[in-house]
Copies of this chain bind each other. A is one copy, B any other.
Amino acid sequence: GNARMGLQYDSISGDTVLEKRMTVNIDATTESSSGITFGARLRLRSNEAGAGTVNGARVYMSTNGLEIAAGNIYGALDSMPGMYDSEVGLTALNDAGVVTNTVANPATAWGFDGYSSSGNGAEGIEAIYTAGGFTGHLSYSEPTLSSGASAQKRTAVYGAYVFNDWTVALGLQDSSVAAEDKVVLTVGGKIGDFGVGFAAADNDGESKVALNGSATFGATTVNGFIADEESGAELAIGLGVTYDLGGASVMAGVERDAVGDTRADLGVSFSF
C-alpha cells in the first residue's frame, strides 16, 4: 500500500485544506497444479473526506500472458500507457493534462471504467493480453451484467507497443451514452534523464491534446505539461517537483486548468 499527507489549495474555494490518504491492498493469489494463477484484490482506503472504506474486489485468472478479470475491473482506457504521464504534484490536482478529462466540457470528461478505490467499480469483465512488447486490453460493462452497478454499456480497448524506451498506445471506447465515445492516442519515451510524452483524444467530438515532459537531476525530478482543449478558455499548464528521500518523496505541484482555475499541493508520499 501507500500513504501521503500534505496540504492542498484550490482557487475556487480559496481554501487550503489537509490532504491525507492511506491505501492498503489485500492481494491474494493461488496457483493451480496446471500453472494457472488465480487471484483477487481488495483495497482499504482512507481519504481526507470521510471514514475508511472497503472497495469492490477484482477477481482474476491468468496464464501464458492472458489475464481474465471480473468485478471492479481496471478498465482499458484507464489502464492505457501514457494516460496519466502528465500528472503533477502530490495528488495529481485536477488532472488537467489528461486528454480524456475535458475540464471545459464536463459532459465528456470521466465517462470510462476504471478501478474504484473506495466503491464497487464497474462490475464488468476484462481481458489483458501481453506478448513481447505488445499489450492489448479489452474491457466491457453494462447494466444487466453488473446487476445495476454500471448505468451504461461501455466497450473499451487499447493496444500498446513498447520498442526500446518508447511506448505508443491507441485506445477506443464505444458507449451507450454517446458523449462517452472516445479515441485516444499516446506516445511517450525517455532520452537519458529526460522524459517526454504526447497525448491526443477525441472525446465525442471534443478534442484535447497535451504535451508532457520531465527531467531528473540527482534526487530531484521536475515535470510539467501543457494541454489544449477545444472548448477551453485557456491553455492548461502544470508544473511539479519530486524530491526522492529514498523510501519516501516530497512532492509539490501547481496547475491551471482549461477554465482558469488554479490548484496547488505540497506534501510527502511513501509506499510500504
Residues of A participating in the B interface, judged by any CB pair closer than 8 Å? 1, 3-6, 15-18, 20-22, 24, 26, 28-34, 36, 38-42, 44, 46, 48-57, 59-61, 69-72, 118-120, 123-125, 144-147, 149, 245-248, 268, 270-272
Contact B48 A147 (CB under 8 A): yes
* Closest residue on chain B to residue A124 by CB atoms: B18
In the complex, the chain B residue whose C-beta lies closest to that of A70 is B5
- Given A42-B22, A146-B18, A270-B38, are A245 and B33 also a contact pair (CB < 8 Å)? yes
A-B contact pairs, 26 of them (CB 8 A): A1-B28, A3-B57, A15-B144, A17-B145, A18-B71, A20-B70, A20-B123, A22-B41, A22-B59, A24-B28, A34-B246, A36-B248, A42-B46, A46-B54, A46-B57, A46-B72, A48-B71, A48-B123, A48-B146, A48-B147, A48-B149, A50-B56, A50-B149, A51-B53, A52-B57, A54-B54
A59 touches B5 (CB 8 A): yes
Report which of B5, B33, B39, B248 forms a contact with A30, defined as CB distance below 8 A: B248
Kindly report how many copies of this chain are found in the complex they form together: 3
Q: Given that A29-B272, A46-B71, A51-B55 are known contacts, is A3 also in contact with B147, CB under 8 Å in the complex?
A: no
Task: Please determine whether B32 and A247 come into contact, CB atoms closer than 8 angstroms.
Answer: yes
A123 CB, nearest partner CB in chain B, Å: 6
Of B3, B36, B51, the contact of A40 (CB 8 Å cutoff): B3
- A49 partner residues in chain B, CB cutoff 8 A: 147
With A48-B123, A247-B38 in contact, is A21–B57 under 8 Å at CB?
yes
For A272, the chain B residues whose CB sits under 8 A away are 28-30, 40
Since A3-B59, A46-B56 are in contact, a sample of 12 more A-B pairs with Cβ atoms closer than 8 Å, ordered by chain A residue number, is A3-B57, A17-B145, A18-B124, A18-B145, A24-B26, A38-B247, A42-B52, A44-B54, A46-B120, A50-B149, A51-B53, A52-B56
Contact A55 B59 (CB under 8 A): no
CA distance A71 to B7 in the complex (A): 11
CB closest residue in chain B, given A121:
B51
